[in-house]
Amino acid sequence: MVTVKEAASTFLANKRIAVTGVSRKAEGHGSNAVYKRLRDRGYDVFAVNPNADEVEGDRCYHDLRDIPGGVDAVVIATKPELAESTMRECAELGIKQTWMHRAFGEGSVCGEATVYGKDHGITVIDGGCPLMFEPTADVFHKVLRFVSTRTGKVPKTV
C-alpha cells in the first residue's frame, strides 16, 4: 500500500492531466476549480465534458479519446455513476493514474470504478482533491485535507 500523500505526489508529477466534469457554468463546481488551478500552475490540462466545446475560455473535449497526444493522468470530477465508464476509458487508453474527486458528500467516488481501475493496474485515489496536496495546495485546501482525512473523505492509503 502507498500513502495518499505519496500517490498524490506521483499523480501531480504528471504534466498532462485531464479533468472530467468541467462545467460551462463554473460557480460551485470543484472540477472547474481543479482545472483552473492546474492550468494556472503550468500543467497541460484538458477539460472534458461531452456537452461542451468550450469551458473557462479554453477548448473542451467530449471524451478522453479526443485529446490530441493523450494524457498521463485523469481527475474524475463527474457524478459517481459516470466514474466507472471514465475508468474503463482510462484502462482502454493506458492511463495509469486517476483521482476521483471528493471534498464534500459523495463527490465522484464510485466503488465499482475503484475496483475496476485497480484490477486493471491503475493507481486510483478515491477521495480528496488534488488541490489538497503540494504543489497545488492552498491554505483552505490544506485545512480541508486535515479535516477530510479524519472523517474518511480522504483515504490514508491507495
Q: In what order do the strands lie in the sheet with 16-20?
A: 54-55, 58-61, 44-48, 16-20, 73-76, 97-100, 123-126
The pTM assigned to this predicted structure is 0.94
Q: For the chain, 158 residues long, give each residue's pLDDT as a single digit of tens.
A: 899 999 999 999 999 999 999 998 866 668 899 999 999 999 999 999 999 999 999 999 999 999 999 999 999 999 999 999 999 999 999 999 999 998 766 789 999 999 999 999 999 999 999 999 999 999 999 999 999 898 888 899 99
Considering the segment(s) 4-150 as one domain, its CATH architecture is: 3-Layer(aba) Sandwich (3.40)
The residues spanned by each domain of the chain are: 4-150
Contact at 8 Å (CB) between 81 and 110? yes
Q: 51: which 3 cell numbers? A: 456537452
Contact at 8 Å (CB) between 23 and 43? no
Contact at 8 Å (CB) between 78 and 48? no
